[in-house]
Amino acid sequence: MRWRLPGVSLGLAPDNRLMFWGMFFNEAGIGIFITLWPLYIASLDATPAQIGFVIGIWGFARLAFLLPSGMLIERFPAKRLILAARIGAILGFALMSIAQTWWQLFPGVILMAGSTASFPVISSVIADVAGRGRARVRAFTMILNVGPSAALLITPALGGILAEQISLRAIFVAAALFNIIGFLVFLRLSDRDVSVPQGPPVKYSEAFRHGGTLKILMLAFAVIFAGILGITLVPNLLQDTHGISVGQIGYLGSLAAVGSISLGLILNNVKVFENSMLSYSLAVSSVAGALLLFVLGQSIWMFAFAFILRGGLLATFSVMYATLSDVTPDRIRNRAYIVAEFMAGLGFTLAPFAAGWFYEVRPALPMTVGVVILVPIILTILWMSRHVSESDDAHVSSSRT
């Protein structure tokens, strides 16, 4: 019998509607473990520096799998690549659930990291199906922000319950189950090919040589590095310094989704945020505010508000991809998505190492450094948004003349 997804159009074309639900279950698998991930590594006798090392290796493995993904997009059907990635994630979570010491996590971490190399493929399919302009911005926001955020409303709290009632290992079993459901959703995608530009082969270096694309790529690195630096060891800070329980941390983690969904609705419905750079500045400001509250907070209510603001980190991805798709020529777009994942992945890779070292100096130091980095980034994005706005006004005036 052919099973059906909930009959809600979401304003998306059929394949992008499947992408929405596939990413929902993908993020459910991530959300159920990610808040408690540092605590699980610590429970396997890892020091703060070793926790940062494990999470950093996840980032390095992502980068290694991303590099050949451009070639794979051009040689294999998108659906086949996405399904292979989901199988890797399922096996990775299963292996992590049975690790007995922190270094035994690495096989599962590498498999899980390999599965994220499908994200450039997913981005390319979303862009192809959605078309250009506002429809594309909406599709990216719905699929990469609203859908995942809806999953994150539930799964961090569920992870906290499973960890307290069963064990921390149980959250990885649940993550594997969510990925099995995601696999079944992606299995229903049509057998479409991602559009490949005609002409000579496209090189990764072309993305760096295009001025508008380069600016977005550099921002992708800086924002993710500062954000991940600040949030990686927040659960450890809350437990070690403020005595907050694992279950409470799980519930707090779900609040990040409230912030992400709220921010997504604002970006989709407030006219001023049609300027994607202003959208970017709002999302990054939300992350900076969260890190500041983690540093200064003394009550669980302050930390709850901080987790709501932390939801801005997920929104930075959807805004970045939408902006990238608009400023990048179609010929190099697929490569630009891969380079963007690489740059964001590089920030994700380096930040946990730094977070572990800073935490051993002083627990709140990673969050403090994150804020210090983000403030000039926000000012830079605001300057860029004004520059873009002035350029657009000049272009409109000249066309009318």
Nearest to 69 by CA among 342, 380, 356, 384: 342
Distance CA 321, CA 325 (A): 6
Which structural domain range is residue 134 located in? 14-190+206-394
- pLDDT tier for residue 221 given thresholds of 50, 70 and 90: very high
393: left (phi over 0), alpha (psi -120 to 50) or beta: alpha
187's tokens: 């299995």
Nearest to 321 by CA among 295, 339, 304: 339
Least confident of 119-123, 193-197, 244-248: 193-197
Rg (CA), the chain: 20
Model confidence pLDDT, tens digit, residues 5-32: 544 456 678 888 888 899 899 889 988 9
307's tokens: 């987790």
Model confidence pLDDT, tens digit, residues 331-376: 777 778 778 878 887 888 888 889 989 998 999 999 999 999 999 9
Model confidence pLDDT, tens digit, residues 63-104: 778 777 666 777 778 888 889 889 999 999 999 999 999 989
Does residue 33 belong to any structural domain of this protein? Answer: yes
Looking at mean pLDDT, say which of 79-83, 326-330, 392-396 comes out highest. Answer: 79-83
Backbone φ, ψ for residue 383 (5° rounding): -65, -45
- pLDDT tier for residue 316 given thresholds of 50, 70 and 90: confident
Distance CA 370, CA 112 (A): 26
Distance CA 27, CA 193 (A): 24
* DSSP reduced 3-state for 355: helix
Taking the alpha carbons of 302, 239, 287, 145 in that order, is the dihedral positive or negative?
A: negative
- pLDDT tier for residue 213 given thresholds of 50, 70 and 90: confident
Res. 394: pLDDT tops 50: no
State the DSSP H helix or E strand holding residue 26, giving kind and residue range, or none if neither: helix 14-34
First to last CA, the chain: 62
Nearest to 31 by CA among 102, 93, 84: 93
Are the C-beta atoms of residues 73 and 121 closer than 8 Å to each other?
Answer: yes
Domain at 272, CATH number: 1.20.1250.20
pLDDT score for 128: 77
Res. 395: pLDDT tops 50: no
Distance CA 117, CA 392 (A): 35
pLDDT score for 400: 42
Does residue 86 belong to any structural domain of this protein? Answer: yes
Res. 228: pLDDT tops 80: yes
Give the percent of the chain with pLDDT over 90.
24
CA distances from 332 to 121, 320, 387 (A): 14, 16, 24
Mean pLDDT of the chain: 81
pLDDT score for 401: 41
Output the CA angle 31-347-122, nearest 5 degrees: 55
- What total of structural domains would you count in the chain? 1
- pLDDT tier for residue 175 given thresholds of 50, 70 and 90: very high
pLDDT score for 195: 58
pLDDT score for 240: 86
User: Hey, how many other C-beta atoms are within 10 angstroms of the C-beta on 21?
Assistant: 22
Distance CA 140, CA 134 (A): 10
User: Hey, how many other C-beta atoms are within 10 angstroms of the C-beta on 248?
Assistant: 19
Does residue 8 belong to any structural domain of this protein? Answer: no
Does residue 200 belong to any structural domain of this protein? Answer: no
How is residue 331 annotated by DSSP?
G
How remote is the C-alpha of 18 from its chain's centroid? 19
Does residue 1 belong to any structural domain of this protein? Answer: no
Does residue 198 belong to any structural domain of this protein? Answer: no
pLDDT score for 392: 46
Distance CA 91, CA 179 (A): 10
Does residue 211 belong to any structural domain of this protein? Answer: yes
Does residue 5 belong to any structural domain of this protein? Answer: no
The one-letter amino acid at 290: A
Higher pLDDT residue, 364 or 265?
A: 364
133: left (phi over 0), alpha (psi -120 to 50) or beta: left
